[in-house]
Structure 1
Amino acid sequence: MADDKFRDPQGGGSLILAWQATNKTVLIVGGGAVAAGRAFNALEADARVVIVAPDINAELQYRVDRGQVSWRSRKFEDTDLEGADMVLTAIGDADESRRIVGVCRQLRIPVNAADINDLCDFWFMSTHRDHSVQIAVSTNSKAPRLANRIRRQVAAALPRGTGLAVEQIGRLRKRIREADPKPENSKRRMAWLMQLCDYWPIEQLANLDSDNIDSLLEAYVRNDAPQTITIAQDSVSVSSSDGVPSPVLHGQLVPDSVISAQPLNGKRGKLTLVGAGLGDPELLTVRAHRALLEADVVLADKLIPEPVLGIIKCEVYTARKFPGIATEAQDDLYRRGLEELAKGRHVVRLKQGDPFVYGRGGEEILFFRKHGYEPEVIPGLTSAINGPGLCGIPVTHRGVADQVLVLSGADRNGALPAIPQYLATRTLVILMSVKRLSQITQLLGQSGHPPDLPIAIVERAGCPDQRTVRGTLETIVDIVDRVGHNAPGLIVAGFAVNVLSDAAIEDRYLDESTMGLHSTE
């Protein structure tokens, strides 16, 4: 049997890098629109730009007049290459471009010849920039127009304030390094900032000010977990990228005294418990979609994806449901729900997946029933079964797996799950557990699961950026360390993981370069 411990490279790609061009000299041959575009990109990277051309267009003349670029008003000469770190040709003479490329190759200067792909050492990509955030899409020069479309779609999906959030995290990171510069504390710094970036909404990070950064620095020094930190900004109303009030920043804790508010028009409030499914609005049930459109207010889980929130027309509110303060956040939702119900409003409690699969759906029904409200329940697709299915993993497959066991990665006290002894025909699905992957794999090994047992990490199932990372019990931790993890995710263990060929599922959203372990079909 072939050794599948490491994945084989898939040729045909480009080595994508972010080139540090500060104070490097970029020589551009040509004076037209393409040359102007190249000059702008180089200037944004803080490069020194030199233009060589008998004539230049209005944009380049503007930059020359303001000292942004240097201009040699003549045709290219080989001596122009002296001191150049990169050369870009943007002229209509293909023969001259080829000659310039040949000289650059002799001098080992990286060169790009516009519209002559076979001559290029590198290509320009379709890019989106928002402050320090840069997103580049490459089609390896096969479909540059389509790259623009893909780039626009990616950029449109970013939360508002993404670039500002990066700037503020950069400021905070610098302050933390100044306050705690010891090399031996680098892991602590990285882990703390990682939790902050993972758990705080981008809109909230974007709106940090100097006082907030001071407060976060003090919290780091005190070793407070980022999930437990409250800053003054939490009570500020901020709109998200969809124009919907931010699910974290909008609203405050509702005092018990307001629960007795008078009903609107004498109507009694209505409560609907809705499962949001996996994240794709098209995977909502028709009934759930209708409830969201009819709601007066939606109380949403923290992890409800933006595309689902985007179809909601009314106010959306989400408490900060982070590890360590989940009970307080749940109480916040209860109080807000009772307040809105007392006003006679239609309240939709929107829960990720299915409300009754490791959610608090049952607890919420009991709570509101005690206060005189019987919720209507609208189920949703659960990631435990449908998540693997969307990623080409049938959790039960005839002759391979005759049972599936769904576990939570932590009980209500945070303890690891009790994993039963190994059974070859069982598929294990472990939710909310990827951050504990190393511990989970140890438990699997201790309960008799073999080292070559297929393991998959299913990430963001049902979202456009869903991904599956595959390996074995022996290799999966190293693979995830290498390729990273995009929460939320779940673990699937069992021979059903590889029962379908990769070819059958690569046509979905998956990136084969991160699949880790391929099936042997």
Structure 2
Amino acid sequence: MADSFRDPQGGGSLILAWQVKNKTVLIVGGGVVAAGRVFNALEADARVTVVAPELNDELQYRVSKAQITWHQRSFVSSDLDGADMVLTAIDDHSESQRIVDECKARRIPVNAADINDLCDFWFMSTHRDHSVQIAVSTNSKAPRLANRIRRQIAAALPRGTGKAVDQIGRLRKRIREADPEPQNSKRRMTWLTQLCDYWPIEQLARLDSDNIDSLLDAYIDNKDPTSVGLSLQPPSVASSRIPSPDLRSASSASSVSSSGKRGRLVLVGAGVGDPELLTVRAHRALKEADIVLADKLIPEAVLGLIECEIYTARKFPGAATEAQEDLYRRGVEELGKGKNVVRLKQGDPFVYGRGGEEILYFRKFGYEPEVVPGLTSAITGPGLCGIPVTHRGVADQVLVLSGANRHGDLPNIPGYVATRTLVILMSVKRLKDIVALLGGSGYPLDLPLAIVERAGCSDQRTVRGTVQTIVDVVERVGHNPPGLIVAGHAVNVLSDAAIEDRFLDASTLGLYADETGKQ
């Protein structure tokens, strides 16, 4: 019997959410630390009195706004009259000791900044989001580390956590007003527990007055909260077209599977092609996946790491949007089964990869994808091929363009800047048109230009020329997609070394060749 209970470890603190609303908090000191204590107390709706000969700018502002009461002098014993809590924030250790002794004699809880042995309690590293407050204590062992731990916890919270809590608070209040009988407290608690456990936090954050009215009606009518259909609008995006396939099971997909397991979505960047250039986090996500939804251009070497089912979009010739919607459909379907879904995209998902569109889409169904960035070919690709796009003294800026916008139009290329490296993705098939645009935008005909092909793969290659010669060079040596265009003086700054690099093919460089055929 005794072995079934845990033994206390000791050395901890009793963690409390101390209610000081309308209580008097006395703060001794007028500097930065005191200002922080004042702010915390005001956020907790306390009545704050400050005793100090001088105040910093922040505390003077609070006096001018009548947020605090200020006694312009040093501490005297009578300041403790009526105080419910005392906080000292002064550099005088002996004076802090005197104040602490007087507080203890009167049984007033006291904190002395940076003197832990004198404190009845201490402040923790806190995160606040609306009504949600998270506090981390290291029990005075490592306060700086507490800040780091708190940031990591806050970063892991679902989007809209604080707002979700506020909305549930509104609903809870409405339910108590509609059904105030004490004997029904268990029913209220059970019903709200089901609601909170069923709906994703991201969706609870988007509850509005109509949704709350619907949920209240469901409670009054004794309906299961999971049966309520809510119209939850995703955040509006004025300029983005997000495909909306007909998914009639969206309400079930947005919650949990029949087994009670909630689906998880990870948006992974596959990088530039070499599986050894995947991030450790991306590699782990692929190993943990139940299914991987992959772009068509993912190299075989990367796909070879995957041990689960791999699904690529059905072929829709000349219709990338339909292929994208096919992946959306499969993703929502698998998430609704409680699967761990990885959406694997080439390069970095946010560099012309529709990553943002995919996040906005899946949010509509209550899923907030975890994002695992990948090395983007825009920077890493040229680097692997001996082109440092920001070589000091040569290029002080990089401009990355897409070779075709969402409507298939050619890019708008700004005027020539000698110290700029221009990188154009998804563009080699339209090389002639791109070169014509460069000439029309004032790019010199002798400006170095390179085609970087299959960067990071074993058959990586760089084809070099100039704005004037590159089209002829590519016609002579051919092109192995995928590839990108790099234009600028940075193209040739490592040219001699680049020829010797194992990744490059000297026969196709054209660095010192007369492209009419003379060497």
TM-score (norm 1): 0.51
The equivalences for 1:352-371 within 5 A come to: none
Identity rate, percent? 63
Q: Distance in 2 between matches of 1:309 and 1:77?
A: 65
Q: Distance in 2 between matches of 1:65 and 1:309?
A: 54
Structure 1 stretches lacking a partner, 5+ long: 257-274, 322-521
Which SS does the other structure have where 2:27 is aligned? strand
Higher Cα radius of gyration: 2
Seen in structure 2, the aligned counterparts of structure 1 residues 72 and 4 have a Cα distance that, compared at 3 Å, is same
Q: Distance in 2 between matches of 1:306 and 1:163?
A: 26
Contact 1:301–1:318 under 8 Å retained in 2: no
Q: Distance in 2 between matches of 1:252 and 1:230?
A: 19
> What residue in structure 2 maps to residue 66 of structure 1?
65
Which of 313, 325, 335 pairs up with 1:301? 335
> What residue in structure 1 maps to residue 292 of structure 2?
291
Contact 1:302–1:320 under 8 Å retained in 2: no
Amino acid at match of 1:207: R
Q: Distance in 1 between matches of 2:289 and 2:339?
A: 15
Contact 1:302–1:318 under 8 Å retained in 2: no
Which SS does the other structure have where 1:134 is aligned? strand
> What residue in structure 1 maps to residue 161 of structure 2?
162
Contact 2:28–2:75 under 8 Å retained in 1: yes
Which SS does the other structure have where 1:128 is aligned? strand
Q: Distance in 2 between matches of 1:155 and 1:303?
A: 28
Q: Distance in 2 between matches of 1:305 and 1:51?
A: 56
Contact 2:293–2:342 under 8 Å retained in 1: no
Contact 1:281–1:308 under 8 Å retained in 2: no
Seen in structure 2, the aligned counterparts of structure 1 residues 219 and 52 have a Cα distance that, compared at 3 Å, is same
Would you say 1:208 and 2:242 are equivalent positions? no
Amino acid at match of 1:18: A
Q: Deviations over 1:251-281 (max 9, x none)?
A: 574479xxxxxxxxxxxxxxxxxx9799997
Shift of 1:320: 7.5
Seen in structure 2, the aligned counterparts of structure 1 residues 100 and 307 have a Cα distance that, compared at 3 Å, is farther
> What residue in structure 1 maps to residue 28 of structure 2?
29
Q: Tell me the C-alpha RMSD between the 2 structures.
A: 3.5
Q: Distance in 2 between matches of 1:64 and 1:303?
A: 58
The equivalences for 1:109-258 within 5 A come to: 109-233=108-232, 236-238=233-235, 253-254=246-247
The equivalences for 1:349-428 within 5 A come to: none
Contact 2:50–2:71 under 8 Å retained in 1: yes
Contact 2:291–2:339 under 8 Å retained in 1: no
Shift of 1:301: 2.1
Q: Deviations over 1:30-54 (max 9, x none)?
A: 0000000000000000000000000
Would you say 1:18 and 2:52 are equivalent positions? no
Seen in structure 2, the aligned counterparts of structure 1 residues 26 and 318 have a Cα distance that, compared at 3 Å, is closer
> What residue in structure 1 maps to residue 457 of structure 2?
none
Seen in structure 2, the aligned counterparts of structure 1 residues 46 and 307 have a Cα distance that, compared at 3 Å, is farther
Contact 1:281–1:307 under 8 Å retained in 2: no
Structure 2 stretches lacking a partner, 5+ long: 250-262, 268-280, 296-311, 313-323, 350-354, 367-519
Q: Distance in 1 between matches of 2:289 and 2:35?
A: 51
Q: Deviations over 1:201-248 (max 9, x none)?
A: 111111111111111100111111111110222xx33499xx9x9xxx
Q: Deviations over 1:96-123 (max 9, x none)?
A: 1011101111000000000101111001
Q: Distance in 1 between matches of 2:15 and 2:340?
A: 29
> What residue in structure 1 maps to residue 416 of structure 2?
none
Amino acid at match of 2:172: R
Contact 1:276–1:284 under 8 Å retained in 2: no
Seen in structure 2, the aligned counterparts of structure 1 residues 309 and 150 have a Cα distance that, compared at 3 Å, is farther
Q: Distance in 1 between matches of 2:235 and 2:98?
A: 57
Which SS does the other structure have where 2:292 is aligned? helix
Which SS does the other structure have where 1:63 is aligned? helix
